[in-house]
Structure 1
Amino acid sequence: MKIYKHFYKIVIKYLTFPSSAWLQILRWNYVILTLLLGINFIAATPVMAANLSDDLLKQPAIQITVSLGNAVNELKFEPNHLEFLAGKRYQLRLTNPSQLKHYFTAKDFADGIWTQKVQAGKVEIKGAIHELELKPGAEAEWVFVPLKSGTYGLRCPIPGHTEAGMTGEIAIKN
Protein backbone atom coordinates (compact mmCIF):
# COMPACT_ATOMS: atom_id res chain seq x y z
CA MET A 1 0.00 0.00 0.00
CA LYS A 2 2.87 2.38 0.79
CA ILE A 3 4.31 1.79 -2.68
CA TYR A 4 1.05 2.89 -4.33
CA LYS A 5 0.87 6.01 -2.16
CA HIS A 6 4.44 6.84 -3.15
CA PHE A 7 3.63 6.39 -6.86
CA TYR A 8 0.49 8.51 -6.42
CA LYS A 9 2.57 11.35 -4.94
CA ILE A 10 4.98 11.12 -7.87
CA VAL A 11 2.13 11.19 -10.39
CA ILE A 12 0.47 14.20 -8.73
CA LYS A 13 3.79 16.05 -8.41
CA TYR A 14 4.88 15.56 -12.01
CA LEU A 15 1.57 15.73 -13.79
CA THR A 16 0.22 18.86 -12.12
CA PHE A 17 3.44 20.86 -12.54
CA PRO A 18 2.77 23.60 -15.14
CA SER A 19 4.67 22.90 -18.34
CA SER A 20 4.29 22.53 -22.04
CA ALA A 21 1.88 19.90 -23.32
CA TRP A 22 4.70 17.92 -24.93
CA LEU A 23 6.67 17.73 -21.70
CA GLN A 24 3.55 16.73 -19.80
CA ILE A 25 2.90 13.86 -22.26
CA LEU A 26 6.49 12.66 -21.82
CA ARG A 27 6.08 12.76 -18.06
CA TRP A 28 2.83 10.79 -18.28
CA ASN A 29 4.49 8.16 -20.44
CA TYR A 30 7.45 7.97 -18.06
CA VAL A 31 5.22 7.56 -15.00
CA ILE A 32 3.03 4.92 -16.66
CA LEU A 33 6.04 3.00 -17.96
CA THR A 34 7.67 3.12 -14.53
CA LEU A 35 4.50 1.88 -12.85
CA LEU A 36 4.06 -0.97 -15.35
CA LEU A 37 7.68 -2.08 -15.10
CA GLY A 38 7.63 -1.85 -11.32
CA ILE A 39 4.44 -3.88 -10.98
CA ASN A 40 5.69 -6.44 -13.51
CA PHE A 41 9.02 -6.78 -11.71
CA ILE A 42 7.38 -7.15 -8.27
CA ALA A 43 4.94 -9.78 -9.57
CA ALA A 44 7.45 -11.75 -11.63
CA THR A 45 10.40 -11.89 -9.24
CA PRO A 46 9.20 -14.69 -6.88
CA VAL A 47 8.11 -16.87 -9.81
CA MET A 48 11.37 -16.30 -11.66
CA ALA A 49 13.41 -17.04 -8.53
CA ALA A 50 11.49 -20.27 -7.87
CA ASN A 51 11.99 -21.43 -11.47
CA LEU A 52 15.68 -20.53 -11.37
CA SER A 53 16.32 -22.46 -8.14
CA ASP A 54 14.33 -25.46 -9.41
CA ASP A 55 16.34 -25.44 -12.63
CA LEU A 56 19.63 -25.24 -10.72
CA LEU A 57 18.74 -28.12 -8.42
CA LYS A 58 17.76 -30.28 -11.40
CA GLN A 59 21.05 -29.46 -13.12
CA PRO A 60 23.64 -32.23 -12.68
CA ALA A 61 26.60 -30.98 -10.68
CA ILE A 62 29.94 -30.73 -12.47
CA GLN A 63 32.38 -32.72 -10.34
CA ILE A 64 35.87 -31.46 -9.53
CA THR A 65 38.31 -33.04 -7.06
CA VAL A 66 40.97 -31.09 -5.16
CA SER A 67 43.57 -32.72 -2.91
CA LEU A 68 44.80 -30.78 0.08
CA GLY A 69 48.37 -32.01 0.31
CA ASN A 70 49.37 -35.48 -0.84
CA ALA A 71 50.60 -38.81 0.51
CA VAL A 72 54.19 -37.56 0.87
CA ASN A 73 53.02 -34.51 2.87
CA GLU A 74 53.81 -31.86 0.24
CA LEU A 75 52.11 -28.58 1.13
CA LYS A 76 50.09 -27.82 -1.98
CA PHE A 77 46.65 -27.93 -3.52
CA GLU A 78 46.30 -30.33 -6.45
CA PRO A 79 45.18 -28.67 -8.69
CA ASN A 80 45.97 -25.19 -7.42
CA HIS A 81 44.04 -23.35 -10.15
CA LEU A 82 40.27 -23.85 -10.32
CA GLU A 83 37.93 -22.34 -12.89
CA PHE A 84 34.14 -22.18 -12.64
CA LEU A 85 31.36 -20.71 -14.77
CA ALA A 86 28.78 -18.49 -13.11
CA GLY A 87 25.32 -20.05 -12.99
CA LYS A 88 26.50 -23.67 -13.20
CA ARG A 89 26.15 -26.16 -10.35
CA TYR A 90 29.36 -27.75 -9.03
CA GLN A 91 30.29 -30.51 -6.63
CA LEU A 92 33.77 -29.81 -5.28
CA ARG A 93 35.19 -32.97 -3.73
CA LEU A 94 37.95 -32.13 -1.26
CA THR A 95 40.32 -34.85 -0.04
CA ASN A 96 43.22 -34.82 2.38
CA PRO A 97 45.52 -37.79 1.67
CA SER A 98 48.32 -36.43 3.89
CA GLN A 99 49.05 -37.04 7.57
CA LEU A 100 48.58 -33.32 8.35
CA LYS A 101 45.38 -31.34 8.72
CA HIS A 102 44.73 -28.64 6.09
CA TYR A 103 42.30 -25.83 5.48
CA PHE A 104 40.55 -24.88 2.25
CA THR A 105 40.20 -21.14 2.82
CA ALA A 106 38.81 -18.81 0.14
CA LYS A 107 36.53 -16.28 1.88
CA ASP A 108 36.06 -13.93 -1.08
CA PHE A 109 35.25 -16.87 -3.33
CA ALA A 110 32.76 -18.18 -0.76
CA ASP A 111 31.09 -14.76 -0.66
CA GLY A 112 30.58 -14.93 -4.44
CA ILE A 113 28.75 -18.27 -4.53
CA TRP A 114 25.49 -19.80 -3.36
CA THR A 115 26.22 -22.87 -1.25
CA GLN A 116 23.62 -25.60 -1.52
CA LYS A 117 25.39 -27.83 1.01
CA VAL A 118 28.63 -29.14 2.39
CA GLN A 119 28.68 -32.81 3.26
CA ALA A 120 31.32 -34.51 5.37
CA GLY A 121 30.66 -38.04 6.55
CA LYS A 122 27.10 -38.27 7.79
CA VAL A 123 26.83 -34.52 8.39
CA GLU A 124 25.32 -32.11 5.89
CA ILE A 125 25.82 -28.38 6.47
CA LYS A 126 23.76 -25.68 4.77
CA GLY A 127 24.33 -21.96 4.59
CA ALA A 128 27.34 -19.70 4.18
CA ILE A 129 30.71 -21.45 4.36
CA HIS A 130 34.05 -19.65 4.29
CA GLU A 131 36.55 -22.28 5.31
CA LEU A 132 36.76 -26.06 5.55
CA GLU A 133 39.21 -27.96 7.75
CA LEU A 134 40.11 -31.46 6.62
CA LYS A 135 41.87 -33.71 9.08
CA PRO A 136 44.23 -36.44 7.79
CA GLY A 137 42.35 -38.84 5.51
CA ALA A 138 39.17 -36.72 5.53
CA GLU A 139 36.88 -36.00 2.58
CA ALA A 140 34.16 -33.40 2.06
CA GLU A 141 31.82 -32.40 -0.75
CA TRP A 142 30.86 -28.77 -1.37
CA VAL A 143 27.90 -28.27 -3.71
CA PHE A 144 27.50 -24.68 -4.92
CA VAL A 145 26.63 -22.31 -7.74
CA PRO A 146 29.07 -19.48 -8.55
CA LEU A 147 27.31 -16.12 -8.82
CA LYS A 148 29.94 -13.37 -8.92
CA SER A 149 32.72 -13.40 -11.50
CA GLY A 150 36.27 -12.65 -10.40
CA THR A 151 39.58 -14.13 -9.38
CA TYR A 152 39.98 -15.23 -5.77
CA GLY A 153 42.83 -16.45 -3.61
CA LEU A 154 42.93 -19.88 -2.03
CA ARG A 155 45.21 -20.83 0.85
CA CYS A 156 45.79 -23.03 3.86
CA PRO A 157 46.23 -20.61 6.81
CA ILE A 158 47.97 -23.10 9.11
CA PRO A 159 51.26 -21.44 10.13
CA GLY A 160 53.94 -22.29 7.57
CA HIS A 161 51.58 -23.88 5.01
CA THR A 162 50.83 -20.72 2.99
CA GLU A 163 54.50 -19.74 3.08
CA ALA A 164 55.51 -23.21 1.86
CA GLY A 165 53.29 -22.80 -1.21
CA MET A 166 49.91 -24.12 -0.16
CA THR A 167 48.11 -21.45 -2.16
CA GLY A 168 45.98 -21.35 -5.25
CA GLU A 169 43.65 -19.33 -7.40
CA ILE A 170 39.95 -19.68 -8.11
CA ALA A 171 38.42 -17.98 -11.14
CA ILE A 172 34.71 -17.51 -11.78
CA LYS A 173 33.85 -16.52 -15.33
CA ASN A 174 30.56 -15.48 -16.88
Structure 2
Amino acid sequence: MRVAAVASTVAVLSLMLAAPAQAYAKNGCSWGSPNVNWFYSGQDYGDFKASADEAANNWNVTHVKMTHLDTGPFKAYIQDDGNSGYSGWTEWECSSTQQTTRAESHLNTHDTVGVEYGEKVAIWAHEFGHGLGLNHSTPGNIMFSCAGCTYQDFGKRNKPQEDDRNGINSLY
Protein backbone atom coordinates (compact mmCIF):
# COMPACT_ATOMS: atom_id res chain seq x y z
CA MET A 1 0.00 0.00 0.00
CA ARG A 2 2.84 2.36 0.92
CA VAL A 3 4.62 1.61 -2.38
CA ALA A 4 1.45 2.44 -4.33
CA ALA A 5 1.10 5.77 -2.52
CA VAL A 6 4.73 6.69 -3.22
CA ALA A 7 4.39 5.64 -6.86
CA SER A 8 1.23 7.73 -7.22
CA THR A 9 2.93 10.74 -5.66
CA VAL A 10 5.92 10.40 -7.98
CA ALA A 11 3.61 10.10 -11.00
CA VAL A 12 1.64 13.21 -10.03
CA LEU A 13 4.82 15.22 -9.36
CA SER A 14 6.34 14.21 -12.69
CA LEU A 15 3.22 15.46 -14.49
CA MET A 16 3.31 18.74 -12.57
CA LEU A 17 6.99 19.32 -13.36
CA ALA A 18 6.79 18.35 -17.03
CA ALA A 19 7.82 20.92 -19.60
CA PRO A 20 4.96 22.74 -21.32
CA ALA A 21 3.73 21.19 -24.55
CA GLN A 22 5.15 22.56 -27.77
CA ALA A 23 2.42 23.62 -30.14
CA TYR A 24 4.68 25.39 -32.63
CA ALA A 25 5.46 23.69 -35.92
CA LYS A 26 8.45 24.26 -38.17
CA ASN A 27 8.30 24.35 -41.97
CA GLY A 28 11.68 22.64 -42.37
CA CYS A 29 13.78 25.68 -43.32
CA SER A 30 15.47 28.59 -41.61
CA TRP A 31 17.86 31.36 -42.58
CA GLY A 32 21.55 30.61 -42.08
CA SER A 33 21.80 33.47 -39.61
CA PRO A 34 19.46 35.06 -37.09
CA ASN A 35 20.10 38.40 -38.86
CA VAL A 36 17.42 38.53 -41.55
CA ASN A 37 17.30 41.43 -44.01
CA TRP A 38 13.92 42.20 -45.51
CA PHE A 39 12.53 44.92 -47.75
CA TYR A 40 9.16 46.34 -48.73
CA SER A 41 8.63 46.35 -52.48
CA GLY A 42 6.15 48.25 -54.57
CA GLN A 43 3.49 50.74 -53.63
CA ASP A 44 2.76 51.82 -50.10
CA TYR A 45 -1.00 52.00 -49.97
CA GLY A 46 -2.33 53.35 -46.67
CA ASP A 47 -0.66 51.80 -43.66
CA PHE A 48 0.61 48.56 -45.20
CA LYS A 49 4.30 49.45 -45.04
CA ALA A 50 4.09 50.82 -41.48
CA SER A 51 2.24 47.70 -40.32
CA ALA A 52 4.88 45.49 -41.99
CA ASP A 53 7.62 47.43 -40.16
CA GLU A 54 5.88 46.94 -36.84
CA ALA A 55 5.31 43.23 -37.49
CA ALA A 56 8.99 42.69 -38.34
CA ASN A 57 10.03 44.56 -35.20
CA ASN A 58 7.70 42.35 -33.16
CA TRP A 59 9.82 39.31 -34.08
CA ASN A 60 12.92 41.08 -32.74
CA VAL A 61 12.03 39.97 -29.20
CA THR A 62 13.28 36.53 -30.29
CA HIS A 63 16.77 35.42 -31.31
CA VAL A 64 16.00 36.82 -34.79
CA LYS A 65 16.88 40.37 -35.81
CA MET A 66 14.80 41.49 -38.79
CA THR A 67 16.35 44.56 -40.43
CA HIS A 68 14.47 46.66 -43.00
CA LEU A 69 16.73 47.55 -45.93
CA ASP A 70 16.20 48.72 -49.51
CA THR A 71 16.76 45.22 -50.86
CA GLY A 72 17.37 41.73 -49.57
CA PRO A 73 16.39 38.08 -49.81
CA PHE A 74 13.10 38.53 -47.89
CA LYS A 75 10.53 40.62 -49.77
CA ALA A 76 7.23 41.99 -48.44
CA TYR A 77 4.61 43.48 -50.74
CA ILE A 78 0.88 43.88 -51.32
CA GLN A 79 -1.26 42.77 -54.24
CA ASP A 80 -4.90 42.18 -55.02
CA ASP A 81 -5.46 38.43 -55.22
CA GLY A 82 -9.21 38.87 -55.41
CA ASN A 83 -11.55 36.71 -53.37
CA SER A 84 -8.96 33.96 -52.82
CA GLY A 85 -9.84 33.23 -49.21
CA TYR A 86 -6.37 34.30 -48.05
CA SER A 87 -5.46 37.54 -46.30
CA GLY A 88 -1.78 36.88 -46.85
CA TRP A 89 0.60 34.41 -48.39
CA THR A 90 4.27 33.50 -48.03
CA GLU A 91 6.51 31.49 -50.32
CA TRP A 92 10.08 30.47 -49.58
CA GLU A 93 12.90 28.50 -51.15
CA CYS A 94 15.34 26.28 -49.30
CA SER A 95 18.74 24.93 -50.17
CA SER A 96 19.60 21.23 -49.91
CA THR A 97 20.86 22.00 -46.38
CA GLN A 98 17.45 23.37 -45.34
CA GLN A 99 18.59 27.00 -45.33
CA THR A 100 16.11 29.55 -46.60
CA THR A 101 17.56 31.34 -49.62
CA ARG A 102 14.58 33.53 -50.50
CA ALA A 103 11.16 34.40 -49.10
CA GLU A 104 8.26 36.57 -50.22
CA SER A 105 5.34 37.59 -48.00
CA HIS A 106 2.39 39.52 -49.30
CA LEU A 107 -0.96 40.72 -48.07
CA ASN A 108 -4.03 40.42 -50.27
CA THR A 109 -5.45 43.93 -50.53
CA HIS A 110 -8.83 42.50 -51.53
CA ASP A 111 -9.23 41.18 -47.97
CA THR A 112 -7.09 43.62 -45.97
CA VAL A 113 -7.73 47.19 -47.20
CA GLY A 114 -10.61 47.65 -44.76
CA VAL A 115 -9.13 45.97 -41.68
CA GLU A 116 -7.71 47.99 -38.82
CA TYR A 117 -4.00 48.64 -38.49
CA GLY A 118 -3.44 46.19 -35.64
CA GLU A 119 -4.95 43.33 -37.60
CA LYS A 120 -2.64 44.10 -40.54
CA VAL A 121 0.28 43.88 -38.10
CA ALA A 122 -1.00 40.46 -36.98
CA ILE A 123 -1.29 39.19 -40.56
CA TRP A 124 2.18 40.49 -41.50
CA ALA A 125 3.64 38.94 -38.31
CA HIS A 126 2.03 35.62 -39.23
CA GLU A 127 3.38 35.74 -42.78
CA PHE A 128 6.85 36.76 -41.59
CA GLY A 129 6.73 33.80 -39.19
CA HIS A 130 6.38 31.49 -42.21
CA GLY A 131 9.33 33.20 -43.90
CA LEU A 132 11.38 32.71 -40.72
CA GLY A 133 10.61 28.99 -40.59
CA LEU A 134 7.35 28.39 -38.74
CA ASN A 135 4.27 26.55 -39.89
CA HIS A 136 0.71 26.87 -38.56
CA SER A 137 0.12 26.48 -34.85
CA THR A 138 -2.72 26.37 -32.34
CA PRO A 139 -5.42 29.01 -31.65
CA GLY A 140 -4.24 32.07 -29.75
CA ASN A 141 -0.78 32.09 -31.33
CA ILE A 142 0.20 34.45 -34.15
CA MET A 143 1.01 31.36 -36.23
CA PHE A 144 -2.55 30.02 -35.94
CA SER A 145 -3.84 29.45 -39.48
CA CYS A 146 -6.09 32.50 -39.13
CA ALA A 147 -3.98 35.40 -37.85
CA GLY A 148 -6.95 37.74 -38.16
CA CYS A 149 -8.91 35.39 -35.90
CA THR A 150 -6.11 35.48 -33.32
CA TYR A 151 -6.30 39.27 -33.43
CA GLN A 152 -10.10 39.42 -33.22
CA ASP A 153 -10.74 36.55 -30.78
CA PHE A 154 -7.81 36.80 -28.36
CA GLY A 155 -7.70 40.42 -27.24
CA LYS A 156 -6.26 42.03 -30.38
CA ARG A 157 -3.03 40.03 -30.29
CA ASN A 158 -0.70 41.08 -33.08
CA LYS A 159 2.65 39.98 -31.66
CA PRO A 160 4.30 36.58 -31.52
CA GLN A 161 3.09 34.75 -28.43
CA GLU A 162 5.24 32.59 -26.14
CA ASP A 163 4.80 29.50 -28.29
CA ASP A 164 5.65 31.44 -31.47
CA ARG A 165 8.76 32.86 -29.79
CA ASN A 166 9.80 29.41 -28.56
CA GLY A 167 9.46 28.06 -32.09
CA ILE A 168 11.67 30.78 -33.58
CA ASN A 169 14.19 30.47 -30.76
CA SER A 170 14.43 26.72 -31.44
CA LEU A 171 15.45 27.53 -35.03
CA TYR A 172 18.02 30.28 -34.35
Q: If each structure's helix is expressed as a fraction of its own residues, which one has the higher value?
A: 2
TM-score by length of 1: 0.21
Q: If each structure's strand is expressed as a fraction of its own residues, which one has the higher value?
A: 1
TM-score by length of 2: 0.21
The structure having more radius of gyration, on CA atoms, is 1
